Structure 1
């Protein structure tokens, strides 16, 4: 465990300077930074020169004030890219399972397939075929539709062409144009529904998990038997619930939720 004796003073001061600049969107001048850090202007100027050289700060040409630079975004983006979405999401998946008493999945896309990376079951859920590591097709699952929903149409067509659109149930969408129409609805409403399209007797609803850049990196779903997962419950209750939890997880990955 480190103590104040282990702290490199110059590094500590430079980081404190960056934190001061982070608090002021209009930036700060040398005198203001000198007063805030209780350091001589000459010391502040040396810090600023070094940080300018490394592009961690910039100087406003009109005001002369110093502000955070774009290099800060590189560090932020690297942190967010390395966050383990499964580890971040798991507490929320467990909470969602407790609230709904249904099976909760976390999935990612791998090529033309969906991969289950986490599954949480409550004591009242019925046994489903899904398990961590399983792969399923995208056209007939709520999570698959979510993961496809913001891709360009030609990219969707290319992905679908690799595996085709085999019929899993009599409700499965097997026409690409119908799928594209549904993906448009997914984008506008913020969730997707698998209406007994992948597994008989099972209805699912899925929502997107976004990273700091707003990109869909994963999807979560609530799945259960149709006698509990009625259309009314899915559309009026669970659609709001799953979007809420998806936003919570996304915020932990750095996404600032916007009205969609």
Structure 2
């Protein structure tokens, strides 16, 4: 699982006395300390990790915003948050989703003549769980690729619309031209509400995406098509989008029993 792997690698790096990402290393150490006990005080975190108080405050603030940890307002102690548990649970869900993808992606590619993928959303990042390549189209992402720049894709409007205003500001702040990006995401979501899919296009490529849900309509990712302007000409967009939406609907039905 992603979380387990990161924490394990963090321990290995400490044992070797080096870390290519000190800030991430500190964040992982804080998670380990908090996850391993029944609440821990701020001064204990600072002491155990030998961190400046100002740095510890910043790390804790981010982890709280992500819901990976929580702070008891009365005692001031820090505890594991629901976000961390959700990540671990969702990783197991990803494996179950992966088992359902081969048939539907092959069908989608065969019926459209373009590359199809499924990207999974675990609440913090995107991961490509399945792909069916059409060699006359475009490659798109590789299977198992993980993307942390979560607002850069045709499927990003599906998650952005569901973010709180606070999280929208946090995520947008990672991008230089955040105002333009916010406008693009909002416009794309409005397009989705009218048409049931999102279209991203440039001079040479086009990509279509449609949301996929699990039980109780919980969003879990997106099915997407990618192609060139030749494999996906403008006059074919409506037809391809209809096929894409139908496959996304069928996959959502397949995933209803996943918990």
TM-score between the two structures when normalised by the length of structure 1: 0.55
Q: Which runs of 5+ in 2 are unaligned?
A: 1-91
Give the paired residue count. 166
Q: Which runs of 5+ in 1 are unaligned?
A: 1-79, 168-172, 256-260
Judging by fraction of residues, say which structure has more helix.
Answer: 2
- Corresponding residue for residue 132 of structure 1: 143
CA contact (8 A) 2:101 2:130 kept: no
CA contact (8 A) 1:147 1:219 kept: no
Match of 2:211 among 204, 208, 215: 208
* Alpha-carbon distance in structure 2 between the residues aligned to 1:220 and 1:160: 24
* Alpha-carbon distance in structure 2 between the residues aligned to 1:188 and 1:143: 16
CA contact (8 A) 1:102 1:122 kept: yes
How big is each residue's C-alpha offset from its partner over 1:6-39, in whole Å with a ceiling of 9 and x where there is no partner? xxxxxxxxxxxxxxxxxxxxxxxxxxxxxxxxxx
231 and 151 in structure 1: CA distance in 2 versus 1, 3 angstrom threshold: farther
- Corresponding residue for residue 39 of structure 1: none
- Corresponding residue for residue 20 of structure 2: none
* Alpha-carbon distance in structure 2 between the residues aligned to 1:217 and 1:165: 28
Shift of the alpha carbon at 1:110? 4.9
185 and 158 in structure 1: CA distance in 2 versus 1, 3 angstrom threshold: farther
Match of 1:190 among 187, 191, 196: 196
TM-score between the two structures when normalised by the length of structure 2: 0.55
Q: Do structure 1's residue 218 and structure 2's residue 221 form an aligned pair?
A: yes
Q: Considering only CA atoms, is the larger Rg found in Structure 1 or Structure 2?
A: 1
**Root-mean-square deviation (CA), in Å?**
3.0
Runs of 4+ aligned structure 1 residues displaced above 6 Å come to none
* Alpha-carbon distance in structure 2 between the residues aligned to 1:142 and 1:106: 12
Shift of the alpha carbon at 1:134? 2.4
- Corresponding residue for residue 242 of structure 1: 244
226 and 112 in structure 1: CA distance in 2 versus 1, 3 angstrom threshold: farther
CA contact (8 A) 1:138 1:145 kept: no
Shift of the alpha carbon at 1:88? 1.2
- Corresponding residue for residue 133 of structure 2: 121
Secondary structure, counterpart of 1:85 in structure 2: helix
- Corresponding residue for residue 167 of structure 2: 155
CA contact (8 A) 2:94 2:120 kept: no
Shift of the alpha carbon at 1:149? 3.9
Match of 1:107 among 115, 119, 125: 119
